[in-house]
Amino acid sequence: MKAIVEYTLLIILGVEIIIANLGNGFIILVNVMDWNKRRKISSMGKIFTALAVSRLVFVWSLLIVFLMYEMYPYLVITGNRLRTIYFSWTVVNHFSIWLATCLSIFYLLKIANFSNSIFLSLKWRVRKVVSVTLLVSLLFLFINIIVINTYIVIWIDGSKENISYSSRSNDFAHFYRVSLLTNTVFTFIPFIVSLMTFLLLIFSLWRHLKNMQQNVKGSRDPSTTAHIKALQMVVTFLFLYTIFFLALVMQSWKSKIPYKNWFNLSFEVIALAFPSGHSCVLILGNTKLRQALLSMMLWMRCRCSAAEPPGP
């Protein structure tokens, strides 16, 4: 039964990796071709492209670490190797989450309608707001790396005192849980920001619909449609993000040794559902990407029809 569960999880993991590579690769390809054609790219296109690149790196870094621990379970873990692994994962995970958060902020400032002077000032400077948000996030990234490096130094000092393999394994398991919990805490910050954008979009839509009823107009005007589409994008992001966040919390408290049982394999499946699933949502929710996907599918269908041999 355990083997069946593990094989099933491995199949799901493989499907997620394929979807993540195809989805994020498609986003990058469409935006690069659009930039090559028009010699310019929109702010949303820049966020989409940067997010897709970070997601691809995130998927492959997670896959490499997973394969490394599976194929070489007794690999000697040195301080430099540990720093490379954790610093890389922290940086990639940081940009993957914060860029998605910036996308939520972009939707809020572009679509929501508030008469507040502060909000209007931010709305007129949406590009600067996104840029400042990314710059501020670098401060959190810097603090996160310092904390992780402190844990690594403590683990190295402790492993020198504990010569036995079991002691070193227990120390590393403790370090793994603490470092993962630290990343989870820093991941909670953009989650709160995205949740605030969702609540503000809900409030903006409610006020808009209320004004529409007073003016006796249809409820499916362009502004309402834009609100609903933005809410769908943000809700899906928050849903996948919540699953990813809870998986990090569970991994921090439940795991003993990384990638040694099906629970850790389940964590990999849950973790990869975020970059793979969200890329599909971005493609279907964006008009340009959706039209490009339909055009590609139509082209592939025509090619397949042309390649079929004529009937008797």
Say what the pLDDT of residue 141 is: 92
Q: Say what the pTM is.
A: 0.81
Say what the pLDDT of residue 165 is: 46
Residue 221, both tokens: 């005007």
CA distance 36 to 234: 29
Say what the pLDDT of residue 137 is: 92
Residue 247 CB: number of other CB atoms within 10 A?
19
Say what the pLDDT of residue 25 is: 92
- Which segments within 172-265 are labelled E, that is strand? none
Q: Please report where in the chains the tokens 């990869």 appear, as a residue.
A: 272
Backbone angles phi, psi at 75, to 5 degrees: -65, 130
Q: Which amino acid is at 291?
A: Q
Concatenating the DSSP letter of every residue in 138-187 gives HHHHHHHHHHHHHHHHHHHHHHHH--SHHHHHHHHHHHHHHHHHHHHHHH
- Helices 222-254 and 165-214 pack at an angle, to 10 degrees, of 160
Say what the pLDDT of residue 26 is: 92
Say what the pLDDT of residue 258 is: 47
Say what the pLDDT of residue 308 is: 58
Q: Is 253 exposed, middle or buried (0-12, 13-18, 19+ CB in 10 A)?
A: exposed
| Domains of the chain as residue ranges with CATH | 1-285 (1.20.1070.10)
- Give the closest residue to 110 by CA, choosing from 129, 134, 132: 129
Three state DSSP letters for 53-90 = HHHHHHHHHHHHHHHHHHHCCCCCCCHHHHHHHHHHHH
Average pLDDT, 10 consecutive residues per value, the chain (312 residues): 75 88 91 85 86 88 72 61 80 88 87 81 87 92 89 73 51 68 82 86 78 60 73 79 75 53 72 83 84 84 66 50
Say what the pLDDT of residue 156 is: 73
**In the 8-state DSSP scheme, what is residue 40?**
-
Say what the pLDDT of residue 213 is: 67
What share of residues in the chain are helix, strand, coil (percent, to 5)? 85, 0, 15
